[in-house]
Amino acid sequence: MTEVHAPGTTLACDIEGSGPDMLLIHSGVADRRMWDPQWPWLTKSYRVVRYDQQGYGESPPGNGPVSPVRDALTVMDGAGMERAIVMGCAIGGETAVRLALAHPTRVRALVLIGTGLWGYTARLEGPVELDERDRAWRRGDYERALALDEKVWIVGVGRQAGQVDQAFLAFCRKMSRTRLRYADVHPTFTDDFHGEHSLGDLALPTLVVVGAEDLPHVLESGRHIVATVPDATLEIVPDAAHLVSLERPERFDSILRPWLASLED
């Protein structure tokens, strides 16, 4: 592990491998360990950086406004990355999109897993558990909030916990609980991004992967991305919820490997 200094904090990072640069940005219910299944094979062909976002894993939140896009650029600069393939899951995917739109010369291609979109109102609403989760977190009932996160994002609203691989579930719980060490810090967020760009401006290869058991509005957002971005491909993975690359790594890798190889053709 290494650390990259960001405003008011340090971001824990792993940097390994050689080859084209790749940046990995985790979801809001995980930390950088969610990329463990892909790490060994990606680092054989790419120079890969993964990091914990502020308030996750080993990266404490700073004492000022948090800009996920600025933090991603800070990590890239600290690792000496001029231009990278950026792979993000959920809010990590949203950060990847914003990064590509605001700083197009820094992003070579995008891989978006279970990614919703700012400024896009899906016709399908999220489940009531999301609102309940937010209320629980605000009132300090963190165990309830984590349980609802697990139900919605990790298990999936259409399944029961007993239908999910128990080793996968235990690993997700381990990652989720690291957030409790920062639970009493409530940062404000700014992206230094004002929506002056649109998805249609993304002139770069984009792979969108969504689990079939993810929330309907996330699936809808994935379809919207593919309908809007000129060079985008959608893959829907059966029997997987939000963390597709971690829950179904073999299937996910079978999609990602040839797609990455096509970038080198």
Residue 152 maps to a domain: no
Mean pLDDT to the nearest integer, 224-245: 95
- Domain residue limits at 44: 2-122+187-264
Interval 2-17: pLDDT, tens: 999 988 899 999 999 9
Residue 175 maps to a domain: no
Instruction: Point out the least confidently predicted range of 159-163, 208-212, 258-262.
Output: 159-163
Residue 182 maps to a domain: no
Residue 153 maps to a domain: no
Q: Which CATH number covers residue 226?
A: 3.40.50.1820
Q: Name the domain count of the chain.
A: 1
DSSP conformation letters of 119-177: T---SSPPPHHHHHHHHHHHTT-HHHHHHHHIIIIIIITTS-GGGS-HHHHHHHHHHHH
Residue 238 maps to a domain: yes
Query: The dihedral of CA 96, 55, 30, 124: what is its sign?
Result: negative
Residue 136 maps to a domain: no
Residue 86 maps to a domain: yes
Residue 179 maps to a domain: no
Interval 166-197: pLDDT, tens: 999 999 999 999 988 888 877 777 766 555 56
Predicted TM-score of the model (pTM): 0.94
